[in-house]
Amino acid sequence: MIKDTINKIFQKSKGILAADESSKTIIKRLTALGLDGNEKKITEYRNILFGTSDLNKFISGVILYKDTLEKQQINGVNVPDFLISKNIIPGIKVDGGLESFNGSDIESYTKGLDKLKEDYERYYKLGARFSKWRSVFSISTKNNNPTDDLIEKNTNDLADYAKISQESGLLPFIEPEILRDGDHNIKETREVFERVFKSLFEKLAEKNVDFDSLILKTSFVVSGSMLPEDAPEIVQKETVEIFNKYIPEKMGGIVFLSGGLTPEQSFSYLNAVIKEAKKEEFLTPISFSYSRALQNNTMSHWSKDTEKILETQEVFSKDLKKASEALE
């Protein structure tokens, strides 16, 4: 069943739309563009995304926020049922967001592990077939972040989450997001990837998580956002080297997040990594699971005139097509 979900997700030329921003995050994005940040506006906006006529040409799965999975309707139909009718698999963000780690104002862990199990049955009944848990790691060489303690805590929780999700019949997406914010160079980013991935894959093995029923959602290995843009050739080399070193042979798949990179960077890095992976005979399926890289142009276009729905959907469709073409 979980394997079936993996096969459907990694269909040729298709990827994942992450539409699981928390209410707080999406309100911040809408208000930054001068729109009202209320529930009605959020529903209206997300229904433009879901209602785009060729969504299923480029998208095989959508990660939803709990409220969207449980309450939102489009054309009188529950959102997950609507997506299923278009052959798109609904997924659910199950983590409870971030909380300061040991009182730190830089480091955070992810809440919600204690109540996780009880909600899965409901999510499954509503149609969700995969789930996502995000942990974050900030890089600061000056402050020695991330600390070993945080890596231990977050990777342990990611592995526990993955086990619970597999036992509940939903394909887990583990997302250890290594943040770009800062002035660290790509070698320093690479070192953090090494520490996080080493610990993560050890914990997953210790807890007997099935690698062939597991998806890794990862950042690209890039320099901090305060440094000049990296050439795709560097990103592809560093990223695929990390994959070759840590990803078990049987891994179900890998998807990338966009992490605040521009749409162009997110598409060109994806394409470069896919080409390098092929060259290196790295066989795990790779795709995208973007939020901002797919939505930024669309949201910005809509904010200029919220009546222009079809025109907004055309903007969205163009970026979906570019992401899909990056998989070739």
Q: Does 258 bind ligand 13P (CB under 6 A)?
A: yes
Torsions phi, psi for 63 (to 5 deg): -85, 125
> Which among 15-23, 122-130, 186-194, 319-327 is the span making contact with ligand 13P, rule CB under 6 A?
15-23
- Rank residues 257 and 326 by Cβ distance to ligand 13P and give the closer one: 257
3-state secondary structure of 290: strand
- How many residues in the chain? 328
- Rank residues 33 and 202 by Cβ distance to ligand 13P and give the closer one: 33
Q: Does 18 bind ligand 13P (CB under 6 A)?
A: yes
Q: Which two tokens stand for residue 200?
A: 């993560």
What is the rounded distance in angstroms from the CA atom of residue 10 to the CA atom of residue 252? 10
Q: Minimal distance in Å, beta carbon 91 to ligand 13P? A: 10
Q: Does 259 bind ligand 13P (CB under 6 A)?
A: yes
Q: Minimal distance in Å, beta carbon 217 to ligand 13P? A: 6
Options 203, 217, 238, 276, the catalytic residue = 217
What is the rounded distance in angstroms from the CA atom of residue 97 to the CA atom of residue 293? 21
| Interface pick for ligand 13P out of 27, 136, 192, 293 (rule CB under 6 A) | 293
Taking each helix axis from N to C end, the angle separating 232-246 and 263-279, rounded to the nearest 10 degrees, works out to 50
177: annotated active-site residue? no
Options 21, 107, 175, 238, the catalytic residue = 175
> Which among 18-26, 155-163, 275-283, 309-317 is the span making contact with ligand 13P, rule CB under 6 A?
18-26
DSSP letters for 175-191: EEEE---SS--HHHHHH
Q: Does 284 bind ligand 13P (CB under 6 A)?
A: no
Q: Does 95 bind ligand 13P (CB under 6 A)?
A: no
Q: How many CB atoms lie within 10 A of CB 192?
A: 20
Q: Minimal distance in Å, beta carbon 165 to ligand 13P? A: 16
| Burial of 128: CB neighbours in 10 Å, binned 0-12, 13-18, 19+ | buried
Size of the site for ligand 13P (CB under 6 A): 10
Q: Does 290 bind ligand 13P (CB under 6 A)?
A: yes
Q: Minimal distance in Å, beta carbon 83 to ligand 13P? A: 17
- The set of long-range contacts for 263-268, using a CB threshold of 8 Å and a minimum separation of 24, is 263/293, 263/294, 263/296, 263/297, 263/319, 263/322, 265/229, 266/290, 266/293, 266/323, 267/293, 267/322, 267/323, 267/325, 267/326, 268/232, 268/326
- Rank residues 147 and 297 by Cβ distance to ligand 13P and give the closer one: 297
β-pairing, 108-110 vs 98-100, is: antiparallel
Q: Does 292 bind ligand 13P (CB under 6 A)?
A: yes
- Rank residues 235 and 293 by Cβ distance to ligand 13P and give the closer one: 293
Q: Which among 115, 189, 202 has a CA at the least distance from the CA of 155?
A: 202
Q: Does 291 bind ligand 13P (CB under 6 A)?
A: yes
Q: Which residue has the tokens 């890794």?
A: 216
Q: Minimal distance in Å, beta carbon 103 to ligand 13P? A: 26
40: annotated active-site residue? no
CA distances from 102 to 106, 196, 234 (A): 10, 19, 35
| Interface pick for ligand 13P out of 88, 164, 257, 272 (rule CB under 6 A) | 257
- Rank residues 18 and 204 by Cβ distance to ligand 13P and give the closer one: 18
Q: Minimal distance in Å, beta carbon 289 to ligand 13P? A: 6
Interface contacts to ligand 13P, rule CB under 6 A = 18, 20-21, 257-259, 290-293
List active site positions.
175, 217
